Each structure stands twice: as C-alpha cells, then as structure tokens.
Copies of this chain bind each other. A is one copy, B any other.
Amino acid sequence: MEVKDVGKNSRGGLVAVDMLERYKKFCSGGKKLRGGLIQLGFEVAGGEKRAVLGASTAIELIHAFLLMHDDIQDMDALRRGQPTIHKQYESKHEEMKFKKDFKLYGTSMGINMGDLGAYMGMEVILSSKIDESRKLEAAIYFSRLLQRVAFGQGLDVTYEQLPKITEEDVLEVHLQKTSVYTVGGPLKIGAILGGMSKKNIDAIEKYGEPIGIAFQLRDDELGLFSSEKELGKPIGSDIREGKNTILKIKAIEKAKGKDKAFLIKAYGDRKISQKSVDKVRDLTIKTGAYDYSKKLAKKLVTDGKKFIPQITKNSYFQDTLSSFADFMIERNS
C-alpha cells in the first residue's frame, strides 16, 4: 500500500500518513515471537531463513491488528509501554479540538487501524518470494486460523459476561484466542512455506496447542505479578478488567469466607486500589492458585514436547523446539 494511492489533496494524505506512522511505531514494540516461529518452522522444513522474512513481517502486522481490536474491547489504555491506538486517537481528538464524541472517534480509528493492518499483513504474505502453491496453502491456513481467533475473541467477551466460568472455559478461550496463532499457527505457516510433509506438520499442531496454552498461562502470571515497566501496561489491568484467568478462577475457588468475597469483588473493579491489588496477589499465592497455574503450564509443556520427535529428526532443531517450549513458561516478559 502506497500513501500516494490515498490522498489526492494533502489533507487526505495527512490522515493516511498519520495512520501508517502510528502503525509502524506500534509494530516496533513487542517480542516478535510469532515472526520468529515462522522462521523456525521454515528452517525446520529445510528452508533458508531469509526467504521467509516477508511472512514473518506479515504475522507481526496481523498480531498488531488483533491487539488493537482487543484493546478496544478490554478498554486497555497502555500497550507495549505506550498508549493503545484507540487512546492515541482520543488524545488526537483533544489536541485537534475535534467536535464530536472523542470516545467514538478513538474506537473508530482503532477499528480502522486494525482493518488496515489485517490486509497489510495479507498483502505481505501473499507477496513474499516463495513458491506459489505453498504460499496459497499457507495463506488459506492463516485465514482459517484468524477466523478461529475471531471466534475465540467472541467467546472471551461473551464468557466475561457470565456469572460462572469454569477452568475448561478459560482454557478453551486460551486455546482459540491465543494458542492457535501464537505457537502452532506460526510454526505451521513456516513449515507449509518450507514444504514440510503433512505428517510432520500435524505433529507441529499437536506440539503447539498445549504449549500455546502454557504461553497464555505464563502471560496471565506475568500480568498479575510483573511491574508496570516489565509489562508495558498498568499493574492490575487484568484484575480491573475482571479477565478470566486460571489464577482468578482457582483463587476464588480455593479461598474461603471474607477472602473469597474480597476476590469476587476485586475482579472487575475498575477503581481498585494498589493495596487491594497487592492483596489479590497475596491471596493468589496463599490459595495455591499460582502454584496450580505453574504446574498446569509445566504439564502442558511436557505434553507438547512429546511430539518433537515426530516433527523433525534433526537433533539441533529438536533441542531448539524443546528449549523454546521451556522458555514459554520460564520467561519474565
């Protein structure tokens, strides 16, 4: 997409340039985990890392789009240490002394920025210099994956509305919304692009599914216990949002009396104090919810690793896949 396609007069061009620059800046942050996994999948399949750079960029662009739409739904204000996109446009509204509803403007631009990135990503993957049949197969798989993510996101916001959520519900959302496109998805895209056999690719999915869920469990642990600096967003965001995590479900399940009542009230309290956040943390440890999450994540990683021998016989890549799986639950950011 060229900016010159957009504005015939400078005013229109400026809006487009502004959108592109914010998108670029947003993408400069983040772990680049998914892009790296596409490269890994491609290399395991026997490809040359450089050839797949386009596809890696594509998934990072699309990850950014998903975060932008997610942040609107979670009413998040910070992401990657910066204001979320819809918040940025709320601020722009104020700076420019725009006239209409600033909140709707922020939401609207957040939606449009996401839609922009959704198709920037598709353009980039479809344009990469790789065998056409493989590219088509990868793009079809990727499109199906992103539909699952949309269902997963629908599940997530719907479950948030329900009074009673089970552990299975939480794990299902983790699977649909996060796991499939965080670990197994990118690895499989890389593997398809690299021409891996169907049998080995199936093993990648089996490897990625539990490890992707473990990734999210670790994310939720970090979300509750990290500092704002490490996290790039305010402490206690997940509590304020009432986000359905294993830590929440288990802590509430195991807590008794006043503690239980406190936790139920704390989750979803948009104005929770720092002191109460600390108390939620303490109770999460005291009830054993934190240990439960750690153990579950460890088990999921072990489950996933069993499939490594079916993915590749190359011991270097076997080690890489094994270390990667461990890193998913040991990482501190």
The A74-119 residues at the B interface (CB cut-off 8 A) are 75, 93, 96, 98-100, 104-105, 107-109, 111-116, 118-119
CB distance from A228 to the nearest CB of B (A): 24
Within 8 A of B (CB), among A128-160: 132-133, 135-136, 139-140, 143-144, 146-155, 157-158, 160
Q: Which residue of B lies closest to A121 (CB)?
A: B143
Cβ of A218 to closest chain B Cβ, rounded Å: 22
Bound Cα distance from A330 to B99, whole angstroms? 36
- Is the CB of A126 closer than 8 A to any CB of chain B? yes
A interface residues, how many (CB within 8 angstroms): 71
Q: Are B6 and A151 in contact (CB under 8 A)?
A: yes
B100 with A160: CB separation less than 8 A: yes
Cross-chain contact B133 with A163 (CB below 8 angstroms) = no
Bound form: Cα–Cα A153–B96 in Å: 19
Given A115-B118, A123-B144, A150-B112, A157–B6 Cβ distance below 8 Å?
A: no
Binding site secondary structure of chain A:
helix
**Distance of A228 Cα from B93 Cα, bound (Å):** 33
Residue of B nearest to A93 (CB): B161
Chain B residues with CB under 8 Å of A21's CB are none
- CB contacts (< 8 Å) of A161 on chain B: these are 93, 96, 98-100, 105
Contact A12 B172 (CB under 8 A): yes
| Residue from B11, B150, B153 in contact with A119 in the complex, judged by beta carbons closer than 8 Å | B150
How far apart are the CA atoms of A9 and B152 in the complex, in Å? 13
Point out the residues of chain B lying under 8 angstroms from A72, CB to CB: 107-108, 111
In the bound complex, CA of A148 to CA of B5 (Å): 8
Q: Taking the complex as formed, is A176 at the interface, i.e. its CB lies under 8 A from any CB of chain B?
A: yes
The answer to whether A16 touches B112, judged by C-beta atoms less than 8 angstroms apart, is no
**Lowest 3 CB-CB distances: which A-B pairs, in order?**
A98-B161, A116-B150, A123-B143
